[in-house]
Structures are given as C-alpha cells and as structure tokens.
Structure 1
C-alpha cells in the first residue's frame, strides 16, 4: 500500500503534512481521524500509543508519529524538489531551527485556547486561560515576524516544509480570534501567499470534505479499519 497519513479533524496540525505530501508529488493515501474520539480510541492507539495525530504509515508499514518527525521524513524524500536541504548545510540547520520553533513555541502558544474549547471550565478559569493564550499567541507572532526578517519565505528564498507547517498552525489565530494578522505584515503576506497555493487549498477542502482535485499524488482515502485489517494480514 502507498504511504498513509492519518490526519486529525477538526483543525489538526496534520494539515501541514498534507500540504507537504502534495508538494512531494509521490503517491499517498489519507485516513481521516476524528479528534478526540477516534484519536484517543483503542483502535488508533494500536498505531499511535499517544492517541494523537498525525501519524504516517510508510509504504513498508513503518509508523512515524509527531509532525516534526513526519516532516523530516518527507524532507529526506524532497531534497531534489527543493522542499528541504542536505544535512550539514546552513539551510538544513535553518529549516530545523524554524520547524523546532513552530513545533514548540508557536504551537504551544495556542494550547490554553484549545483547552478552553476541549474541556469544561468555569468562567473565571476560561477568562484567565483565554487572556494567557492570546498573550502567548501575540508574543510568538512577534517573534516569528522577527525571524522572518522581511523575507518571502520562512527559510531561504523559496518555500520549504516550514511554510507548510506554519500554515497548519497559523490558521488557528483566526479560529480563536486571537490576533489581527495585519499587525504582523510579513506573516500576513506569507499567509496570503500560502492560502493561494493549490496544496493548501486541497488540504483545506479535504478537512472540510469538499470537492477537490489533488495537484500531487493523492490516491484516495482509506478507513482506519482497512489499515488495521491490512496490517493484521501481513
């Protein structure tokens, strides 16, 4: 079977991995995982004991979890197409530095805001977490704006997997109404540029179950039951 990406909905950070796979252009399939019900269920935990998305099953049946690991797996396959850079190069170091920032500081800035949505909390706790989350989102956007440094892309002079991962997280600012992105002109330009990318439009349509056409190697969806049955039959 082609590689399968298990992506989470709604609004999963696996969005960036879908974009990356589209850019890579190699055959792959998708498996839709509803969060938190299916993601935390026993069946999915057979593939990812942590019960979180995304997870990538490679063509030889190996499992890779965590966005950073999945993007680096894709990066190793996409150096010739310009998605990533050779290990040991300055560009490689900058890409991994940017991915690490996105995966830690930028991602985690939204955690208090997600907690308010995903858990029952009293009004006072909600107000505190919302204020704390918005302050963190503002801080990390200012930091990322400085790291962008007026460039068109997060790393170097062309798009990279960092831009794909950025897009999957940056849209959360709209979902939570946490900031006005126009206050960060460089990031706003990057966001708008990425929003017009065919792979980004495809990932958005996939999440919302809208009609779409792949510009990459998408071979269709498979169900979690189908994947588990195929693995058991090996």
Structure 2
C-alpha cells in the first residue's frame, strides 16, 4: 500500500499507526501547496480534494481522511489495542476523540497556516487553539492517554495535530500535562521512525 503524505500534516498519524501495527507502507511524499506528486503530476489525480493523507490500497482503491484511513488499517489487521472492534464501546470512545481532534482541534489550527488570514482573525484563531489545548491539558492531568489507559489510534492523531503548536510558536511547556503526554508518545519507536522519515524528507526539500 502507498501512503501519500506531506511533512507536518495528519498523515503523520497514519504513518505512526501503520508502524505500530507493523505494516510497511510505501511513502510517497507530495507537495500539498503546489498540489504536485514527486514526479510532477497533479495530486488531484490521486485525491480530487488535493489533500493528504491518501492511501492507495493494494487493489488500487484510494482512501482519504486520516481518521478513515486509520480505521481501515486497524480493522484490516485486527489491531484491537489501537482501535477496538465494532460494538465494543471503547471503539466509539476512541472514535469520539478522533472526531473531536479532526473537527475541532485541527480546524482551529487551519487559519494559522494560511498566509492571507487577517491579523485580527489570526489572534482569535490563536485563542481558540490555546483554549482547546488548555482543555486537553486538564483532561491529561488525570490520565496518561486519551482513552483506556493505553496508547490508541486517537493518541497518534492527537500527537500529529498538537505538534503544530510548536510551529505556531506556542510552546507546549505552557501546558505541562499535555507536554508530558506528547513526550510519552514521542518516545515510542513508531513515532521516532515516522518522525525520522519526515526529517529526511524536510532535509531533502531544503537541499533541493
């Protein structure tokens, strides 16, 4: 299977989950700003939405949206520890977190990555992000992971998004419980490997 991805996106969550499961994905780095694949072809040919992540399955189908791809990989490989099976309430708790992360936290960050966001709205967006990070910090004051006392797919998703705070000069040290949570996840071999692959790609682009 091939994963289309770009540094510092939710595609990191998919890569981490795949590595947790032990699935080797062919990483196809793309330029989401130019909407181009490595060979110069149009990203829309793979994903009409022009976004990452996108997963091309072995039978040629393409799945998009990080939360959906993660569910597919977990279900395909029976990774119940990362995402419990259907009708297990723990599954829906993990998905509840993933929907919050994708619809609330992710979208709160979006204006901060747009160069044309007006300064006043950028200030409001920053406050929105900080408010959600503060809430996560409160939640993590009494638990090590988002649900079930163990690392799940929701934590991979959270890690990929929360790390954007550092890109927006919001030091995670401002939220000590959240900071400790990120450090726990950062120490996982799957995360170390995924981040290393990302750093190699960033260095390649800088040298190009």
Report if TM-score (shorter chain) is over 0.5.
Answer: yes
Q: Is the 8 A contact 1:56 1:65 kept in 2?
A: yes
Say whether 1:153 aligns with 2:145: yes
* Larger RCO, structures 1/2 (Cα 8 Å, 6+ apart): 1
2:42 is matched with 43
Q: Is the 8 A contact 2:15 2:194 kept in 1?
A: yes
TM-score normalised by length of structure 1: 0.78
**Does the residue aligned with 2:28 lie in a helix, a strand or coil?**
strand
Structure 1: unaligned runs, 5 residues or longer: 211-234
**Does the residue aligned with 2:154 lie in a helix, a strand or coil?**
helix
2:205 is matched with none
**Does the residue aligned with 2:17 lie in a helix, a strand or coil?**
helix
Q: Is the 8 A contact 1:75 1:84 kept in 2?
A: yes
**Does the residue aligned with 2:137 lie in a helix, a strand or coil?**
helix
2:93 is matched with 94
1:183 is matched with 174
**Does the residue aligned with 1:31 lie in a helix, a strand or coil?**
strand
Q: How far off its partner does 1:44 sit?
A: 1.7
1:7 is matched with 5
Bigger Cα Rg: 1
TM-score normalised by length of structure 2: 0.87
Structure 2: unaligned runs, 5 residues or longer: 202-208
Say whether 1:21 aligns with 2:18: yes
> Over the residues paired in the alignment, what is the CA RMSD in angstroms?
2.0
Q: Is the 8 A contact 1:39 1:53 kept in 2?
A: no
Q: Distance in 1 between matches of 2:45 and 2:62?
A: 11
Q: How far off its partner does 1:207 sit?
A: 1.5
> Please, which moves more after superposition, 142-151 or 167-176?
142-151
Give the alignment of 1:98-117 within 5 angstroms: 98-116=97-115
